Structure 1
Amino acid sequence: MRIHWLLAALAIPGITLAAEGMWTLDNLPAKRMQAEYGFTPGGDWVKHVMLGSARIAGGCSASFISKDGLVMTNHHCAAECVEQLSSAQKNYMNDGFMANKREQEVRCPEIELNRLEQIKDVTEQVKSATKGLDGEAFKRAQDAINARLSSECVGSDKDTVRCDVVNLYHGGRYHVYKYHRFQDTRLVWAPERAAAFFGGDPDNFNFPRYDLDISLLRVYENGKPAVIKDYFPFSKNGAQDAEMVFVTGQPGRTQRQLTLSQLATLRDTGLIPRLLQLSELRGVMEQYAKTGPEAARLAEAELFGVENGFKVFKGQLETMLDPALMKKKQEDEAALRRFVASRPDLKTRLGGAWDAIDRVQQAARQLSVPLTMVGRGRGFDSHYFQYARMLVRGADERSKPNGERLPEFTDANTPELEQTLFSTAPVYPDFEKVTLGLSLTKMRESMGADDAFVKQVLGKQAPDQFAAALIDGTKLGDPAVRKALWTGGKDAIASSNDPFIKLALAIDPHARAIRKQFEQDVEAVEQKNSELIAQARFAQQGLDAYPDATFTLRMSYGEVKGWDDAGKKIAPFTTIGGAFERDTGAEPFALPASWHKAKDRLNLAQPFNFVTTNDIIGGNSGSPMINRNGEIVGLIFDGNIHSLGGAFWYDGRINRTVAVHSGAITEMLGKIYGGENLVREMTAH
């Protein structure tokens, strides 16, 4: 199906991809928006939208929807909090959670919320710091200037301010994004998983859909709900057919501007191995879930992530294997290279960039397995190991000047790191034995049983034996133990007898060496030459192009619109009544008992889920969908199956964003879940 549509799109001269683009808020396509929809966003409107949008630091989007710090995001974005607050005795994932009073709102152990407040161009400072440098020297200089710029931006307010140096256009521009940091985030409402993920994996990335994929949080400061000036109240009517709508969110990563050789490496060393790994992990989790009710509860979240990721990577791989897409990529790259070759001034400075990137791809391929398994720690899939590596490296890195540290340990990043490290979320030893044993097995398989590093780690033990011994002997599940090791620094780490601390200490030199080799031999070369390719694009197009997604705030505009799927018209809306018609009483198509109890009170004709032409990608989950008045008309939670290729390109005829209708949210929150007070708060203008 995707090949059919892609070939058709590429065969039509002058095809208009009107809604394409994940635009930074300081460079919106105002002329295009005016020409297509008769709307030009003013400066006050853009500033209000920026301050009303939010980011969950762990990888999702969100928005402020009341003056009292009420925040809206997806259920699957807050699921980790819901799970961490659950237990064998009270399963909030299955039963749902509702705080009828402010004092019943419960703090999430690990959710940090960020609100973008300022964008500053620092391109010249970054490029000056790295000018004339290569390899390790380039990487060191770039890390140092990034640390300095972010530290200067944060100043003395690290508890409430976060600053990130953002690489745009693959090095064409560098901006500092200054955020307000909210670390006291509390759970207000989460419906039952059966409602939030109705249809399960069969419906995932499909449409029609009937999901109430929403959670409400609230941010607090100084023990009180935060006072929010810029927020999005709910629209009275919600999204209408053909209405112009905007999505402000944090798209994670796209690869639309990578070179052909980079795309091939991503396909072969990223997508294919990841799909195989997820396939095996899914089988292990399904088997583990059958061993008892508590095992099923613990495996549930892992399975959701595995199944979701598998569909995403499968869709991306199918797109990468599509000859029509690769043909278009080849034509685009060749056209840009011809443009550079036609300009002597550009040819001298930029002409060798593509070949330089091509040359380092072999090194990238050779390093992919050790980098993944050891350098990035996928061979040690355990919360205990993650804590241990954080503690070991933190003790070493914090003794260095800020500009010489690994980026994740700079002063600007410390608050988020400490929130994770000191989290009160429970760690479950039996579950950890399963994940760690499997990851060690896969590390041995991919690196070889005779590999010196594998022998160093496992010795004479089998992976499951080694994992069990580590977990049975560790105390790192206790946040007080972790805090004592963190505050104790190098002396505390050196004197610790914890087996995970000893493991992290033993393997860290090798892990750092792999990381350093990749950064200097591959990453630095790609970064430096990608900057040159970005300069070529600027010379050809100016700033009329949008940058690849970087998990930073972007705006997409589009309209409410269905699509034609091989001659079948897909209507843009579903209804609440359609959910009851789809209900079979058996998972994953079983509506909760609370819905059946309230059915007679519900407006079954109320639009439930709908689709738009907005251009989104993973990370946009939880993004608000707003109208021209800055009012909530929907909540993004998914894309259709065609949108999975959105990492590499966008086809406005079939790529669709899937959202929960604002009217369905208020209808069900009030009539099913007894949240009338929250409805009043959300609809107050």
Structure 2
Amino acid sequence: MKICRALRASTAFAAILALPLSAARADEGMWTFDSFPAAKMRADYGWAPDQVWLDKVRAAAVRLTGGCSASFVSDAGLILTNHHCVATCIEQNSTADANILKTGFTARTREEEKKCAGQQAELVTSIRDVSEQVKQAIGTQAGEAAIKARSAILASLESSGCPDTARTRCQVVSLYGGGQYKLYTYRKFSDVRLVWAPEAQAAQFGGDPDNFNFPRYSMDASFLRAYEDGKAVATPNHLEWSARAPIDGEATFVVGNPGSTQRLLTSEQLAFQRELALPITLTIFSELRGRLIAAMDSSPEKAREGAETLGGIENSLKVYIGRVKALGDPAFTGRLAAAEADLKRRSAGNAAIGNPWADIAGAVRAYRDFYVADRFSLPSGELFNYAVTLVRAADERAKPNAERLPGYSDSALPLVEKRLLDAKPIHPWLDQLMMEWSLSKAREYLGADDPQTRLMLGMESPEGLAERLVSGTRLADPSVRKALWEGGAAAIAASTDPMIVYARSIDANDRDLQKRYDELVDAPLTSAQAKLADARFAAFGDTIYPDATFTLRISYGRVQGWTERGQKVPTRTALGGTFDRATGAEPFDLPAAFVKHQARIDKKAAYNFVTTNDIIGGNSGSPVIDRSGKVIGAAFDGNIHSLGGNYGYDATLNRTVVVSTDAIQEALEKIYPAPHLVAELRR
């Protein structure tokens, strides 16, 4: 089941959040590198980094296309990130006889490093403002014509910006909801390999009960390596490793790619989330969790194969529960409404912006009419995703670049092809479960007699259709996918593979929904949000930052705890606390290597710590950097209050949770020994 095309749900708790429509305050802000608020930080901290410092750390910041952040930490392409960011790669390389997800993994030589299917590491090399080109191309056009014009100019800018698609990738990103457009150029590395990972239990100690909480005792760190032409990439512009404990009050920087925030939504958009999108999401994901747990309980092999999927679902559920709680709190939503009213007051008399709030309200009303159909138009599952990608790519690749659907332009196709053709294990039972679940939810929410339900199911049940398609398809074989990709439209049209046939049968309906969305929702929203951006700039100048867009940002803060129920929360935990917290039962059972090496471990070593940095999902794996530009940790979570980060930032409660380099070094030396990595980090 796909996520809705826009109006993504947002996260918040009823904390005393900074008003999200006003200028940034305290340590708030996920700033673009070309607009870092040096003067503001200097006023708050008495110091701020200069351009040389910013350029240096930017040159080492990595985006992982799996949805995480990372950094180069050696001159030979070594990448620091989180364990949960590479857990899928670890699971792909695990078997029943060699379950490295459970036991951990250390490559003793470069030859032992294991490829991560579908993964790509990207490094920003330039950022260029292309707002005028995009806005001129759209001109006065409206509806679907405006969206087509925008797609065409974006495809043109990306194609001309990166003629070498083997080594570079270009992406035009919309900021401030359409107020700005910037062309990001990336140096990409399509061969990424696993180097080191602790046991899953070390990274996930405390499981769901500890998730989004602190104190924490988590070794959520791993190392990858970037390769090119079969050789490790030379990365002279890397961060220097500093294996030390954090210092209370010291300045910290998080450099990474926050995925998405919705701090600029209007009251109508918030109501849409509260009344329609979030209740559906919470209900169906709760059911999916139950279905998956029941299936995993049926065999040890399914328990192993479904573990990472279950972890992702449970993580999402915790976020959705926080969102529902936030948007149900009158005090919190009242503060958001007050901020919106303040912007309206400041914008009164500004004829140039008109009434964007009314335009947004109209687009939201239009989407309410077909949101359910849009949300449930495609089923879930790896195999179906392969099928619909092949069907669409065959059609889109035959068109001129400027006329293709977003995601299938010349600049995007290399990553599409990589993800499609990279070999990785497919678990048919899991694919069937996901497809059954999503098809059953489509029938439940649309109704059995709805034309879309009849199109998707015909005379079959969700269970029967999923079983027939998954058992009959050959798309788990990468050579079959490769032949269909290379064969293009003719091969797709001639294919009798049941999953391809099914994808062909429902593709047109989803495309029609896309056209409807473009015409009635995306175009008016983009136009209105661009006017709101103008209103905010007029009211607050350059003191506002754009919502997160999974592009490179920097936030500043400090090592600092908070007060919880009248008690001060410390800034850090120690490795020895793991043993004190262990109960012997999941999820608080000790990792085997911790037990084995208990006598050797420095139990006073700093383990996890918290900072006031402003982050969100997508920042996982981001390096936490000190004033000298050295890496002292990797961000891997937020505290429970930071679930409000999608809507706003509260400096008194929101905290980033970090795994310390002090603990990672201890693990590399004593718990999961890797002396060659220790030496590499010291070079």
TM range (shorter): over 0.9
Structure 1 residues 412-427: aligned runs within 5 Å: 412-427=411-426
1:298 to 283, 305, 320: 305
1:351 to 350, 354, 362: 354
Task: State the alpha-carbon separation in 2 of the partners of residues 192 and 221 from structure 1.
Answer: 28
Structure 1 residues 100-139: aligned runs within 5 Å: 100-139=108-147
Task: State the alpha-carbon separation in 1 of the partners of residues 14 and 472 from structure 2.
Answer: 56
2:167 to 160, 171, 179: 160
Match for residue 368 of structure 1? 371
How far did residue 89 of structure 1 move?
2.1
1:177 to 180, 184, 203: 184
Match for residue 26 of structure 1? 34
Q: Is the counterpart of residue 428 in structure 1 residue 427 in structure 2? A: yes
Match for residue 575 of structure 1? 574
Task: State the alpha-carbon separation in 2 of the partners of residues 266 and 144 from structure 1.
Answer: 31
Structure 1 residues 211-290: aligned runs within 5 Å: 211-290=218-297
Match for residue 593 of structure 2? 594
Task: State the alpha-carbon separation in 1 of the partners of residues 465 and 243 from structure 2.
Answer: 59
On the 8 A contact 1:53/1:64 being kept in 2, the answer is yes
Q: Higher mean Cα deviation, 320-329 or 648-657? A: 320-329
How far did residue 5 of structure 1 move?
4.2
On the 8 A contact 1:267/1:317 being kept in 2, the answer is yes
Match for residue 71 of structure 2? 63
Task: State the alpha-carbon separation in 1 of the partners of residues 331 and 682 from structure 2.
Answer: 47
Task: State the alpha-carbon separation in 2 of the partners of residues 269 and 131 from structure 1.
Answer: 33
State the Cα deviation string for residues 332-386 of structure 1 (Å, max 9, x = none): 21121122214xxx2x221221111111211111221111111xx2xx1111110
Aligned AA for 2:70? A
Match for residue 8 of structure 2? none
Task: State the alpha-carbon separation in 2 of the partners of residues 58 and 507 from structure 1.
Answer: 27
Task: State the alpha-carbon separation in 1 of the partners of residues 457 and 374 from structure 2.
Answer: 18
How far did residue 616 of structure 1 move?
0.5
Task: State the alpha-carbon separation in 2 of the partners of residues 406 and 140 from structure 1.
Answer: 9
Match for residue 316 of structure 1? 323
Match for residue 35 of structure 1? 43
Task: State the alpha-carbon separation in 1 of the partners of residues 74 and 165 from structure 2.
Answer: 25
How far did residue 236 of structure 1 move?
4.4
Task: State the alpha-carbon separation in 2 of the partners of residues 153 and 239 from structure 1.
Answer: 41
Match for residue 637 of structure 1? 636
How far did residue 278 of structure 1 move?
1.1
Task: State the alpha-carbon separation in 2 of the partners of residues 354 and 16 from structure 1.
Answer: 22
Q: Is the counterpart of residue 201 in structure 1 residue 200 in structure 2? A: no
How far did residue 17 of structure 1 move?
4.2
Aligned AA for 1:551? F
Runs of 4 or more above 3 Å deviation? 2-5, 14-17
Match for residue 461 of structure 2? 462
SS of residue matched to 1:360:
helix
State the Cα deviation string for residues 482-537 of structure 1 (Å, max 9, x = none): 11001101110111000111111111111100111011100110001100110111
How far did residue 591 of structure 1 move?
1.5
On the 8 A contact 1:252/1:551 being kept in 2, the answer is yes
Aligned-residue RMSD, C-alpha: 1.5
Match for residue 330 of structure 1? 337
Aligned AA for 2:359? A
SS of residue matched to 2:134:
helix
Aligned AA for 1:287? A
Task: State the alpha-carbon separation in 2 of the partners of residues 646 and 321 from structure 1.
Answer: 16
How far did residue 40 of structure 1 move?
2.3
Q: How many residues align?
A: 670
SS of residue matched to 1:542:
helix
Task: State the alpha-carbon separation in 1 of the partners of residues 113 and 383 from structure 2.
Answer: 29
SS of residue matched to 1:515:
helix
State the Cα deviation string for residues 383-418 of structure 1 (Å, max 9, x = none): 111011001111100000001000110010111101
Q: Higher mean Cα deviation, 526-535 or 327-336? A: 327-336
Match for residue 7 of structure 2? none
Q: Is the counterpart of residue 52 in structure 1 residue 51 in structure 2? A: no
Structure 1 residues 425-574: aligned runs within 5 Å: 425-574=424-573
SS of residue matched to 2:177:
helix
Q: Higher mean Cα deviation, 63-72 or 259-268? A: 259-268
Match for residue 6 of structure 1? 16
On the 8 A contact 1:239/1:662 being kept in 2, the answer is no
Task: State the alpha-carbon separation in 1 of the partners of residues 644 and 323 from structure 2.
Answer: 5
Task: State the alpha-carbon separation in 2 of the partners of residues 128 and 4 from structure 1.
Answer: 42
On the 8 A contact 1:54/1:62 being kept in 2, the answer is yes
Q: What is the TM-score when the length of structure 2 is the normalising length?
A: 0.96
Q: Percent identity?
A: 46
Task: State the alpha-carbon separation in 1 of the partners of residues 595 and 458 from structure 2.
Answer: 57
On the 8 A contact 2:251/2:559 being kept in 1, the answer is yes
Call closer, same or farther: CA 1:51–1:339 in 2, change over 3 Å: same
On the 8 A contact 2:92/2:425 being kept in 1, the answer is yes
On the 8 A contact 1:340/1:351 being kept in 2, the answer is no
Call closer, same or farther: CA 1:585–1:569 in 2, change over 3 Å: same
Task: State the alpha-carbon separation in 2 of the partners of residues 84 and 272 from structure 1.
Answer: 33
Task: State the alpha-carbon separation in 1 of the partners of residues 353 and 23 from structure 2.
Answer: 30
Match for residue 651 of structure 1? 650
Task: State the alpha-carbon separation in 1 of the partners of residues 75 and 262 from structure 2.
Answer: 37
Aligned AA for 2:86? A
Aligned AA for 2:126? Q
How far did residue 457 of structure 1 move?
2.5
Q: Higher mean Cα deviation, 493-502 or 269-278? A: 269-278
How far did residue 596 of structure 1 move?
1.3
State the Cα deviation string for residues 635-665 of structure 1 (Å, max 9, x = none): 1000000000110010000000000011011
Task: State the alpha-carbon separation in 1 of the partners of residues 81 and 40 from structure 2.
Answer: 29
How far did residue 436 of structure 1 move?
1.0
State the Cα deviation string for residues 157-214 of structure 1 (Å, max 9, x = none): 1011011101111111110000011110000011111100000000000000000001
Task: State the alpha-carbon separation in 1 of the partners of residues 455 and 151 from structure 2.
Answer: 31
Q: Higher mean Cα deviation, 433-442 or 526-535? A: 433-442
Call closer, same or farther: CA 1:51–1:3 in 2, change over 3 Å: closer
On the 8 A contact 1:170/1:530 being kept in 2, the answer is yes
Call closer, same or farther: CA 1:573–1:520 in 2, change over 3 Å: same
Aligned AA for 2:363? V
Aligned AA for 1:384? L
Q: Mark the runs of 5 or more structure 1 residues left unpaired by the alignment.
A: none
On the 8 A contact 1:3/1:324 being kept in 2, the answer is no
Aligned AA for 1:67? D
SS of residue matched to 1:622:
coil
Task: State the alpha-carbon separation in 2 of the partners of residues 164 and 224 from structure 1.
Answer: 27
On the 8 A contact 2:168/2:188 being kept in 1, the answer is yes
Task: State the alpha-carbon separation in 2 of the partners of residues 235 and 436 from structure 1.
Answer: 46
Task: State the alpha-carbon separation in 1 of the partners of residues 92 and 278 from structure 2.
Answer: 30
How far did residue 595 of structure 1 move?
0.9
SS of residue matched to 2:489:
helix
SS of residue matched to 1:110:
coil
